[in-house]
């Protein structure tokens, strides 16, 4: 059984095929954390039980029975920490009682174990059949405030992954306010040998990898920008100091939420550790009247003793199979051409048709019309919110253009930025109250636009009706959903003063409702997320869109860092990556078309350039890239990723590979970042079957998997910086 309860010891044991997670109903019915790590046998669980010595400065539970040992919440490893009753470390739960105090204390009441996984109403989450997962619900109660807290644990046995979230119900006869309800809390007995990993950045350089030793005190990443953001991703990992890509302990934590979040790792004075993750408590409060409930978003937890690569591959398998969903979950995505970097706002029907015609002759399968097709939109200064076709640009309307593009054998996609409104727009002039704002304070402007209040049903109804009219007017197969500014002055004209601290979360819930409504109406729609590039690249979005634009920086060398960091927990099949023009529009660098294609192939693949100006030689390269996309699609999108050489290690080269599940083929990519004199490298491969022999289709060499992995593949350096090589290996016996 993946989840067991042992009544004699009151121990819960949650097992995947590779991990164990153990907790116990301890003294005074407090839920204690005992272990999280590699699989351990049931018969030895008694070894994990412990008691803590007395400390004069550590408050203890008042003992009514002298035979019960001393118990202090500040010394024990708590399963779900609470604020104000003796645990002085960072806490997961804090409830403001009707008395005005925020002392919170929960104790075990009951539990149930069942096959499958419950949905989280109104929120994205991983999903599972009864055969794929097992769930434990633990009911706890604060007997003073009357709050009932249910802790949910779901075990995905075949992956080595778990998910957690919490639900709080006001079972009292008085109102209460939730000040913090985090999704997961994990205590570690010894964190002194751990490193802290996170993905930081900014617009055009998202999800850069950073690793540093865990120190005494708290290290945290967070967002209070209204979305998960470019600055920090809702992912952290703890790993042993000696962990590499393929060995050592690695714990990964990822929040399925696209709003304000907090992820922290704390090491206290005795070396114990605590990881917390959930909605950022800053700027958050949720009012509960008697009988009302609140449910946190889901956190995903992964442990691997096969290093960071092993951790990543668990995330990838789980997200591909049990987070992404819909018609495009396992369907080959079309190669697309987006007109943005080719035309920006300066296009008309004939220019778009010319691009589509050129694309159709090269093997590209879809034209995406980006910003500038609606209202009076000729720059970023106007018309967001006025979602009707500009027929001065598209004479005869959208339907005519789409029919012409479809006539070339190509699909058609379109760009929207539904959550925003331009100050210069018909919508804002008619409904200024629909924008987020607070009484008496000027509204901040960013990119000449405001943010619509997505917590309002009338706003969501308007947006859905606008999108529906456009969708029904033509054969549209794809939407790129953009989001280009942070949230400020976050208040809603519809809510009273006691609800304004709920607006951040209500905004996110409203967004989810609109996305679900859109996908229900158009189940065959391919939706791609975007937020000034990769500012919303989080698991919540992958529940609605199976791919997300990784960054507005399309330079192939910059993308090495961005895509490498993204791969820490997000699968290749979700990473929006395109070939763009040179000199690159963001950094001015010129790189070979082959290199741009090889790097973009580690993603959904497409183009961001003017195909009508390519030379004959460049057209042949594009044709070959499109053919390779189809040839290697399965191994790249469904295979296991092995990061061979990181781009940030010595800044001279980068390499990665994909291996099919049955080990029958592999695809290797190697990029020279900075050439050195007389350079020759042996790159040790990974993930192959050591007993199989593999043919390198590019060189004709046949070697055993053991030799490819232990001795490595010899790569002679290219003639220039930014040269790339690809090698495809197939098993021959």
Active-site residue set = 482, 552
Count of helix runs (H) and strand runs (E) in the chain: 12, 39
Asked if 301 contacts 238 with a C-beta cutoff of 8 angstroms, the reply is: no
Closest-CA residue to 106 (of 142, 75, 73, 144):
142
Q: How far apart are CA 613 and CA 304, in angstroms?
A: 49
- Which pair of structure tokens corresponds to residue 276? 């917390």
Distances (CA, A) of 232 to 199, 204, 228, 417, 537: 6, 13, 7, 22, 10
Map residue 407 onto helix, strand or coil. coil
At residue 355, what are phi and psi to the nearest 5 degrees?
-65, -45
Alpha-carbon dihedral sign for residues 330, 336, 340, 341: positive
Asked if 287 contacts 175 with a C-beta cutoff of 8 angstroms, the reply is: yes
Q: How far apart are CA 94 and CA 463, in angstroms?
A: 36
712 Cβ neighbours under 8 A, 6+ residues apart: 682, 683, 684, 685
Asked if 369 contacts 339 with a C-beta cutoff of 8 angstroms, the reply is: yes
How does DSSP classify residue 326? Answer: S
Q: How far apart are CA 688 and CA 666, in angstroms?
A: 8
Distances (CA, A) of 607 to 336, 338, 366, 432, 670: 6, 6, 10, 38, 21
Q: How far apart are CA 649 and CA 630, in angstroms?
A: 32
Map residue 623 onto helix, strand or coil. helix
Cis peptide before 583 (omega within 30 of 0): yes
Q: How far apart are CA 488 and CA 443, in angstroms?
A: 8
Angle of helix 503-521 versus helix 457-472 axis, rounded to 10: 30
- Name beta bridge partners: 337: 367, 607
Helix or strand holding residue 135 (H, E): strand 134-141
Helix or strand holding residue 636 (H, E): helix 616-638
Residue ranges with strand state E in 499-645: 526-529, 547-549, 575-576, 579-580, 606-608, 640-645
**Residue 719's CB: how many other CB atoms inside 10 A?**
7
Q: How far apart are CA 49 and CA 10, in angstroms?
A: 11
C-alpha radius of gyration, the chain, whole number = 27
Residue recorded with tokens 């030379």? 615
Residue ranges with strand state E in 312-363: 336-338
Asked if 285 contacts 501 with a C-beta cutoff of 8 angstroms, the reply is: yes
Map residue 518 onto helix, strand or coil. helix
CA 584 to chain centre: 27
How does DSSP classify residue 374? Answer: B
How does DSSP classify residue 274? Answer: E
Helix or strand holding residue 544 (H, E): helix 539-544
Alpha-carbon dihedral sign for residues 610, 611, 616, 620: positive
Closest-CA residue to 512 (of 434, 570, 460):
460
DSSP string, 644-671: EE-TTTSSSEEEEEEE-TTSSEEEEEEE
């Amino acid at each position: 059984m993946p989840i067991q309860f042992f009544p004699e010891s009151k121990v819960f044991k949650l097992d995947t095929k590779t991990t164990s997670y153990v907790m116990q109903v301890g003294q005074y019915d407090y839920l204690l954390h005992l272990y999280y790590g590699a699989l351990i046998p049931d018969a030895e669980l008694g070894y994990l039980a412990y008691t803590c010595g007395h400390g004069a400065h550590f408050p203890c539970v008042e003992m009514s029975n002298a035979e019960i040992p001393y118990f202090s919440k500040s010394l024990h490893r708590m399963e779900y920490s609470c604020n104000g009753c003796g645990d002085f470390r960072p806490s997961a739960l804090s409830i403001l009682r009707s008395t005005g105090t925020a002392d919170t204390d929960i104790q075990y009441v009951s539990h149930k174990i069942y096959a499958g996984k419950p949905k989280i109403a109104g929120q994205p989450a991983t999903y599972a059949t009864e055969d794929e997962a097992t769930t434990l619900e633990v009911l706890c109660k604060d007997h003073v405030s009357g709050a009932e807290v249910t802790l949910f644990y779901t075990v995905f046995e075949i992956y080595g992954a778990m998910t957690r979230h919490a639900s709080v119900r006001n079972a009292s006869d008085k109102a209460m306010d939730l000040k913090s309800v985090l999704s997961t809390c994990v205590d570690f007995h010894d964190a002194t040998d751990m490193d802290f990993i996170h993905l930081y950045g900014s617009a055009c350089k998202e999800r850069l990898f950073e690793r540093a030793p865990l120190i005494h005190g708290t290290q945290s990443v967070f967002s209070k920008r209204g979305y998960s953001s470019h600055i920090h991703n809702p992912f952290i990992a703890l790993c042993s100091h000696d962990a590499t890509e393929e060995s050592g302990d690695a714990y990964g934590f990822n929040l399925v939420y696209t709003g304000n979040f907090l992820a922290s790792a704390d090491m206290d004075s005795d070396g114990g550790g605590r990881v917390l993750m959930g909605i950022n408590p800053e700027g958050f409060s949720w009012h509960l009247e008697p009988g009302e409930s609140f449910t946190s978003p889901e956190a995903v937890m992964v442990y691997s003793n096969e290093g960071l690569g092993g951790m990543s591959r668990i995330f990838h398998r789980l997200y591909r199979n049990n987070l992404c969903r819909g018609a495009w979950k396992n369907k080959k995505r079309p190669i697309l051409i987006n007109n943005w970097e080719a035309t920006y706002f300066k296009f008309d029907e004939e220019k778009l048709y010319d691009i589509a015609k050129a694309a159709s002759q090269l093997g590209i399968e879809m034209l995406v019309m980006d910003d500038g097709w609606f209202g009076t939109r000729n720059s970023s200064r106007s018309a967001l919110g006025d979602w009707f076709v500009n027929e001065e640009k598209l004479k005869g309307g959208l339907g005519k253009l789409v029919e012409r593009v479809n006539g070339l054998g190509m699909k058609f996609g379109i760009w929207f930025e539904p959550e925003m409104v331009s100050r210069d727009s018909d919508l804002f002039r008619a409904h200024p109250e629909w924008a987020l704002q607070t009484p008496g304070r000027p509204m901040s402007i960013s990119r000449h636009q405001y943010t619509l209040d997505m917590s309002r049903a009338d706003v969501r109804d308007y947006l859905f009706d606008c999108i529906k009219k456009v969708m029904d007017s033509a054969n549209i197969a794809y939407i790129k959903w953009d989001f280009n500014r942070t949230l400020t002055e976050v208040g809603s004209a519809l809510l009273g003063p006691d609800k304004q601290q709920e607006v951040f979360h209500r905004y996110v819930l409203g967004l989810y409702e609109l996305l679900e409504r859109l996908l229900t109406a158009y189940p065959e729609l391919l939706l791609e997320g975007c937020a000034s590039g990769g500012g919303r690249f989080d698991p919540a979005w992958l529940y609605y869109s199976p791919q997300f634009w990784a960054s507005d920086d399309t330079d192939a060398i910059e993308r090495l860092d961005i895509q490498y960091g993204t791969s820490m927990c997000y699968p290749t099949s979700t990473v929006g990556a395109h070939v763009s023009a040179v000199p690159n529009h963001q950094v001015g660098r010129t790189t070979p078309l082959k290199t741009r294609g090889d790097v973009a192939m580690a993603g959904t693949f497409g183009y961001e350039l003017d195909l009508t100006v390519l030379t004959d030689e460049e057209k042949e390269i594009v044709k070959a890239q499109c053919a390779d996309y189809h040839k290697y699609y399965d191994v790249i999108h469904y295979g296991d990723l092995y990061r061979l050489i990181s781009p940030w290690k010595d800044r001279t080269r980068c390499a990665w590979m994909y291996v099919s599940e049955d080990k029958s083929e592999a695809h290797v990519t190697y990029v020279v970042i900075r050439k050195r004199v007389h350079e020759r490298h042996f790159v040790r491969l990974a993930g192959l079957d050591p007993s199989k022999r593999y043919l390198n289709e590019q060189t004709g060499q046949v070697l055993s998997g053991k030799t490819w992995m232990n001795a490595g593949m010899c790569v002679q350096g290219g003639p220039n910086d930014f040269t790339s090589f690809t090698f495809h290996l197939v098993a021959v016996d």
